[in-house]
Amino acid sequence: MARGNADLSRWVVEQAAAAHPGAVGRVAELGPGPGVGLETLLTTFPDAQVWGVDLSPVMLAQAGKRNGSAVDAGRLTLVEGGVPALAASRPADVVMANHVLYFWADPEAELARIRGFLRPGGVLALGYQLRQNMPAMAQRKFPLAGHRLYDTAEDVTALAEAAGFTSVTQLVKGPADAPQGRVMLATA
């Protein structure tokens, strides 16, 4: 699972870079966990200032250890908090959030807040997996813990559109009948 998440993180960064071909100076990742996505953002956008925002100090410590040289160089700033803490990166060119969607009680409101922190024309890259493509244990345990799973990509698109994003597209990683993950790309 950890390896699968890492592969998805790297793939989502590639998709975000393709969706934002212009200059990228400010990039944030919400919920970076152990920091693989941040590592890839730092190399993919070599001129960008990067922020990592996570509710968990334990995860932030791991992300900081993995990306210590960027922290020391002042290129990467780690911030403890949820979506409101993305304010540090405003106006962001790219915001990425992988496997975070499930934890939002009010996803439309969180997406609208993220849109407010993006530069007009900035890109949100939201990596996730649909309920039926998750491991059986996650399908059982996430809802029991009060987390929210999604049955169709259209459900996720509808949230982004309701939050004011435009040009919303959905991409699948891997075979259509056994996706390894998905990304929703949406423009602020």
- Kindly write out the interface string for residues 93-112 of this chain, putting x where it contacts ligand SAM by CB under 6 A and - elsewhere: -----xxx--x---------
What is the 8-class DSSP label of residue 174?
S
Q: Per rule CB under 6 A, is residue 64 in the interface with ligand SAM?
A: no
Q: Which H or E run includes 96?
A: strand 92-98
Minimum distance of ligand SAM from residue 58's CB (angstroms): 8
- Please pick, from the candidates 7, 44, 55, 113, the single residue that binds ligand SAM as defined by CB under 6 A: 55
The tokens for 64 are: 């900081």
Minimum distance of ligand SAM from residue 172's CB (angstroms): 16
Give the C-alpha separation, 48 to 77, whole Å: 12
- Please pick, from the candidates 25, 82, 116, 174, the single residue that binds ligand SAM as defined by CB under 6 A: 82
Give the C-alpha separation, 102 to 139, whole Å: 11
Q: In the complex with ligand SAM, which residue's Cβ is closer, 145 or 176?
A: 145
Burial class (CB in 10 A: 0-12, 13-18, 19+), 88: middle
* Owner of token pair 């969607």: 101
Q: Per rule CB under 6 A, is residue 13 in the interface with ligand SAM?
A: no
Q: In the complex with ligand SAM, which residue's Cβ is closer, 23 or 105?
A: 105
Alpha carbon 111 to chain centroid, angstroms = 11
- Please pick, from the candidates 24, 59, 159, 185, the single residue that binds ligand SAM as defined by CB under 6 A: 59
- Please pick, from the candidates 18, 43, 56, 139, the single residue that binds ligand SAM as defined by CB under 6 A: 56
Give the C-alpha separation, 79 to 132, whole Å: 33
Q: Which amino acid is at 139?
A: Q
Which span (26-34, 65-73, 112-120, 165-173) binds ligand SAM, by CB under 6 A? 26-34
Q: In the complex with ligand SAM, which residue's Cβ is closer, 1 or 18?
A: 1
CB atoms within 10 A of CB 47: 8
Give the C-alpha separation, 153 to 145, whole Å: 22
Binding site for ligand SAM (CB under 6 A): 5, 9, 30-33, 37, 53-56, 59, 82-83, 98-100, 103
